[in-house]
Amino acid sequence: MSSTHSSLHVHLVFGTKERVPWITQDLIVDFHAYIGGCAKGGGSLPLAVGGVADHVHILLGMGTSQSVANIVRDLKRESSKWMKSRRSMEPFAWQEGYGAFSVGPIALEEVKQYICRQEEHHRERSFMEEYRMMLEKAGVKYDPKYLE
């Protein structure tokens, strides 16, 4: 084959350090747009960015030469700089880890809608409840002590 073809999509999830609700309503729209721009600038295709005050969800298409770890590292670094440049957000930080879940082409629209409805989801469950459900649905084994 003389060219490369791929369909690589990932749903990323990461939270603020100690789940502090730093991503306030006055910042959230611009913040999510900024994260999408960072993803695009880094060579990914952002399909949806959403979340609430203590975490973010990102659905993106990846290039074949990209790694999830590098994408997350860059997104966290650049978005931290953005947050720290706003008002008194100097102590802003992301948690150490992240969730990365593969998404097949058939599920893309469903995941996009899920990300867009984050505020609705979090009227009923916390970030940790949501994250545990995501891990279990994906069949990811985890130690609960590392989620707290």
- pLDDT of 90 strictly over 90: no
What pLDDT does 77 receive?
A: 98
Whole-angstrom distance, CA of residue 76 vs CA of residue 5? 28
Sign of CA dihedral 87, 11, 133, 141: negative
- pLDDT band per the 50, 70, 90 thresholds, residue 147: confident
pLDDT in tens, 5-62: 899 999 999 999 999 999 999 999 999 999 999 999 999 999 999 999 999 999 999 9
What pLDDT does 1 receive?
A: 66
CA distances from 65 to 47, 73, 74, 125, 144 (A): 19, 15, 15, 36, 33
What pLDDT does 2 receive?
A: 81
Give CATH superfamily name and number for 9-146. Transposase IS200-like (3.30.70.1290)
Domains in the chain: boundaries: 9-146
Torsion of CA 38, 43, 49, 52, to 10 degrees: -50
Whole-angstrom distance, CA of residue 61 vs CA of residue 40? 10
